Amino acid sequence: MDPGFSVDEIAPIAILMDELRSEDVQLRLNAIHRISTIALALGPDRAREELIPFLQDSVDDEDEVLLALAEELGRDFEEYLGGSEYAHLLLGPLENLSAVEETLVRDKAAESITKVAAVLNQSQIEQYYIPLLQRLSHGEWFTSRTSACALYAPVYGKVGAPVQDELRRGFTQLGSDDTPMVRRAAAKWLGSFVKKLSKQHVLTDGLAIYRRLQGDDQDSVRLLTVEDLIAIAQQLTPAEVKDQLLKQIRQSVADKSWRVRYMAASHFNELAEAAGQDLVRDELIGHYVGLLKDNEAEVRTAAAGQIPGFSKLLDKEVILLKIVPCVRELCQDTSQHVRAAVANQIAGLAPLLGKDATIEHLLPLFLHLLKDEFPEVRLNIISKLETVNQVIGIELLSESLLPAIIELAEDKSWRVRQAIIEYIPLLATQLGKPFFDEQLGNLCMSWLGDNVYSIREAATVNLKKLTEVFGVEWAKVQIVPKVVGMGQHPTYLFRMTTVQAITTIAPSLTLDIISGDILDTLLQLGQDPIPNIRFNVAKSLEVLAATFGNTPEGKQLIRQKVLPILEAQKNDQDADVRYFATKALQQVRAVEAT
């Protein structure tokens, strides 16, 4: 627990208290952030006797300060009090913070209480924690009762059977509270609590609490019970799920509130896995199709995000009969968000359907989505093509999709163009040199002149990856002449791109290519009238020195050609050029010294 400076340098408790009482919020906040340091300076005895009582009375403050205090007390603060045997002392100030009006403060206080509970022994829990929990659970204001809901699960497994009975009764009471905010908190934390219960108590107490909350008249409560449903189902056998939860499953997926149906759709895969194969086949497939066809676009979007995961639980024939027709409809959906969700997930069906079915049923949908008017839809399809490639092979993929991909390479959305660039190396690996050179070579070079910087940057990285795929000899013929040629372009943008491309791809090339084909152009650009180009040349020369300066030939080349231009740039009229030239010279001399 070394604070990083001596105790003599730490302000005494009186100064801290003055800062905490200051009218300046920032001063009080800074003092709270130094609480652990002050506690260390005071020592365990004074920290317990003076600091903790002081903090317990410090709840009438700005929310920002209280939030910081709640967080600090959860950071192993018991070690400043003498260890875990005194950890229960932290419960006092945290209990007060758990009842304040601001939700963020209460949530952080409850989180810190949970951390404290982890180091308490059974005696401390029963003597200090349980009474705290009872006070919060029966608090006059709903704020304390909402905080209490989060505090049952952390200690349930650490107490004896009589106290566990008491805890189950307490949580049941919170689940029936008159205030919707408390019932909402109970629904939020019921899943965590249920996971601590024995099977017997899940079937009695857990189910009773859940059913009451799942039938609540507030949809903000019901939507939180979807995760509770999954937690309970995971504790039961498939037969018990069918007997005990089937009615609630039907109610959740067909709830009158779209927000509840949205939650059911978002978690449908987890629910299906917990329910078991028989219930999926007999019941859940119909409910899932219903969610995919829901009236609300948000629900369809959430359900579409579950397509591959849920389909893994089905036979191929069922996927073709039930899921694929829905997917086909969703590809035509009026909502762009729905189509984007489908585009992001549809490729996941390819491994499940196999080559022939993918070609017949999915490829037409890929082509349709690649031509969608919204960039995100196209982007999502492009980013998942590798999955399809693994199923149907590059020949069919390129034959079907390459024309669309080439069209997208000039898409008006730069994000789509960037996605295509990032996919090119993979495509190149599969297509081979001849096909690539014929179909995509010029395309890759055209991106270097794009008017969006991110595209030009991605294009240079793309060239480096292609060099690694096809080899340096290919790069010498196909890339280097075109990059060097751009260095003579009258437009500043193209000359700058030449420098950046050389900097990026140089480490993948050989010294012979650098010295014979590239360096002269780079040195010429070092005298360019544009300062930005000149200092980027200095940065590029620094990279070359670091990459090739470890051989006698490289050192000789640097000494003969690189040093003179950097020495000249060191006296350049532009400050940035002088800075980067000086920095590069330091690198060059360091290389020479090795």
| DSSP per-residue string spanning 350-408 | HHHH-HHHIIIIIHHHHHHHHT-SSHHHHHHHHHTHHHHHHHH-HHHHHHHHHHHHHHH
Instruction: Report yes or no: 44 and 82 within 8 Å, Cβ to Cβ.
Output: yes
- Please give the pLDDT value at position 14: 64
d(CA 551, CA 472): 19
Q: What is the amino acid identity at position 262? A: Y
Q: What is the amino acid identity at position 398? A: S
Can you tell me whether residue 239 is helix, strand or coil? helix
Q: For the purposes of burial, counting CB atoms within 10 Å of the CB of 60, is it exposed (0-12), middle (13-18) or buried (19 or more)?
A: exposed
Going by C-alpha positions, the residue among 244, 295, 306 that lies closest to residue 269 is 306
Instruction: Report yes or no: 187 and 213 within 8 Å, Cβ to Cβ.
Output: yes
The alpha-carbon radius of gyration of the chain (Å, integer) is 33
Task: Please give the C-alpha separations between residue 477 and each of 166, 226, 467, 470, in angstroms, as whole numbers.
Answer: 79, 60, 11, 11
H helix count then E strand count, the chain? 47, 0
Q: What residues contact 318, with CB distance under 8 A and at least 6 apart?
A: 281, 285
d(CA 268, CA 291): 10
Locate all alpha helices (DSSP H) within 202-293, ordered by sequence.
207-214, 219-222, 225-235, 238-253, 258-266, 268-275, 277-279, 285-292
Q: What is the amino acid identity at position 46? A: R
In whole angstroms, what separates CA 336 from the centre of its chain? 23
Per DSSP, 12 falls in state P
d(CA 464, CA 467): 5
Q: What residues contact 132, with CB distance under 8 A and at least 6 apart?
A: 91, 95, 113, 151
Going by C-alpha positions, the residue among 115, 187, 179, 120 that lies closest to residue 149 is 187
d(CA 566, CA 273): 65
Instruction: Report yes or no: 73 and 90 within 8 Å, Cβ to Cβ.
Output: yes
Instruction: Report yes or no: 91 and 132 within 8 Å, Cβ to Cβ.
Output: yes
Instruction: Report yes or no: 87 and 119 within 8 Å, Cβ to Cβ.
Output: yes
d(CA 228, CA 244): 14
Instruction: Report yes or no: 107 and 115 within 8 Å, Cβ to Cβ.
Output: no
d(CA 589, CA 594): 9
Residue-level pLDDT, tens digit, the chain, 594 residues: 444 444 444 445 566 656 666 667 777 788 788 888 888 888 899 889 888 888 887 766 688 888 998 998 888 888 989 888 999 999 999 999 999 889 999 999 999 999 999 999 999 999 999 999 999 999 889 999 999 999 999 999 888 899 999 999 999 999 999 999 999 999 999 999 999 999 999 999 999 999 999 999 999 999 999 999 999 999 999 999 999 999 999 999 999 999 999 999 999 999 999 998 889 988 999 999 999 999 999 999 999 999 999 999 999 999 999 999 999 999 999 999 999 999 999 989 999 998 889 888 988 898 888 888 887 888 788 777 778 877 877 777 777 767 777 777 777 888 878 877 887 887 777 667 777 777 777 778 888 888 888 888 888 888 888 888 888 888 888 888 888 888 888 888 888 888 988 988 888 888 888 888 888 888 888 888 999 989 889 998 888 888 887 788 888 888 888 888 888 888 889 999 899 889 888 888 887 777
d(CA 339, CA 332): 7
Instruction: Report yes or no: 586 and 549 within 8 Å, Cβ to Cβ.
Output: no
Instruction: Report yes or no: 388 and 354 within 8 Å, Cβ to Cβ.
Output: no
d(CA 161, CA 133): 17
Per this entry, what is the length of the chain? 594
Task: Quote the Cα angle for 111-112-115, to 5°.
Answer: 95
- Please give the pLDDT value at position 9: 42
